[in-house]
Structure 1
Amino acid sequence: MTFDQIAWLPLCAGVTIAGLVLSFLAFRRRGAAAGMRVAAWALLPVAAYLTGALQALWTIGATVVGFVTSLIFNPVVWSGVAVTGLAVVLFVVSGFMRGRKLRLARGDKPGKSAEAPTAPQQRPVTGQKAGPAAGQPAGKPAVAAAKKNNDDDFSDIEDILKRRGIS
């Protein structure tokens, strides 16, 4: 069926009239804003017919449907999709191989990342005593004193990070 075989003006007018009836019902039940919104949607079919946009939409829809049906039922197109997939796989694999080659050229050992240290570095925290805090018994760790002095919500996290040597 072609575009010219369909009586578009009566079809668009009927859809618009039905939409305007629904907009009146929406106006009465849900208010003016809802009614105006439905009326705006209802006027679009007649506007598309009068501006010629309906024929453009028909052409776009027919082209998309033709493309999809030729894609689904054509084995040559499926072989093109398979070749595209192979190209993507080759591209990704070559990226991994190139990254490995660059790491080896920098002198890194294979299998280990240059960013991950082997052991955490313990750095002394400035401004703190090595021994127990003032007014604290010698048996309790210094972490309890730091927790007691910090009133914010992140003091527990800060203590854990300090114990791990992360400042």
Structure 2
Amino acid sequence: MDEATWAALAATLTLLGLVWTYVSYRRRGAIAAMRALGFTTLPVAAWLSGTLEMFTEIGGSVADWATGLVFNPITWTGIGLAGFGVVLIVISGYLRDRQLAPGRAAKGQLPEAASTRDARSAPAVDDDLADIEAMLKRRGIQ
């Protein structure tokens, strides 16, 4: 596309943005219109800085990639293998933690979650806390 086409695209997007700004102002007030006007200036800024063409090329490349993704069984095989690899990594981490837990418990190095669970179920040592705990149990709170 030549420069005139890019200018026409930027002008069209800006005019659509101005309509959006006006509608936003009428329906939701000045703050919404200010936000819409901010978005309205972006197509002209992209055209003046030369990035409008880059954005359209990126969009076209993503569309080509997505089209190839949908219709290519080799790509889907790759995605399936990636998912399978992630599942294996997660499962192996879970199994490793389960395998190391008995050894840590024997050494007194319980994981943080298990040590807090044991601390909650342990009886109160302090006499004042024991009295409070007994009152809570009598009232059915604990």
**TM-score with structure 1 setting the length:** 0.57
CA distance 1:73–1:159, change in 2 (3 Å): farther
Change (3 A) 1:101 1:14: closer
Unaligned runs of 5+ in 1: 129-141, 144-156
Describe how 1:86-165 pairs up with structure 2 within 5 A: 86-106=84-104, 115=115, 116-117=117-118, 120-126=122-128, 159-160=135-136
Structure 1 residue 67 corresponds to structure 2 residue 65: yes
How big is the shift at 1:42?
A: 2.1
Q: Which one-letter code corresponds to 2:44 in the other structure?
A: V
Matched length: 132
Give the superposition deviation at 1:34. 4.5
Give the Cα separation in 1 of the matches to 2:114 and 2:18. 68
Aligned-residue sequence identity (percent) comes to 36
CA separation of 1:66 and 1:163: change in aligned 2, threshold 3 A = same
C-alpha deviation, 1:76, in angstroms: 0.6
Give the aligned partner of residue 78 of structure 2: 80
Q: 1:16: how far off?
A: 1.9
Rounded Cα–Cα distance in structure 2 between residues aligned with 1:114 and 1:48 = 56
Aligned 8 A contact 2:6 2:53 in 1: no
Cα pair 2:17 2:39 within 8 Å, conserved: yes
Q: Which structure carries more helix by proportion?
A: 2
Q: Which residue of 2 aligns with 1:153?
A: none
Q: Which amino acid aligns with 1:72?
A: V
Q: Report the CA distance shift for 1:94/1:27 in structure 2 as closer, same or farther (over 3 A).
A: closer
Specify the code of the residue in structure 1 equivalent to 2:67.
T
Distance 1:86 1:30 in 2: 49
Question: In terms of mean alpha carbon deviation, does 37-46 or 89-98 score higher?
Answer: 37-46
Q: Tell me the secondary structure at the aligned position of residue 82 of structure 1.
A: helix
Q: Distance in 1 between matches of 2:114 and 2:96?
A: 16
| TM-score when normalising by structure 2 | 0.65
Flag structure 2 segments of 5+ consecutive residues without an equivalent. 107-112
Match of 1:45 among 13, 34, 43: 43
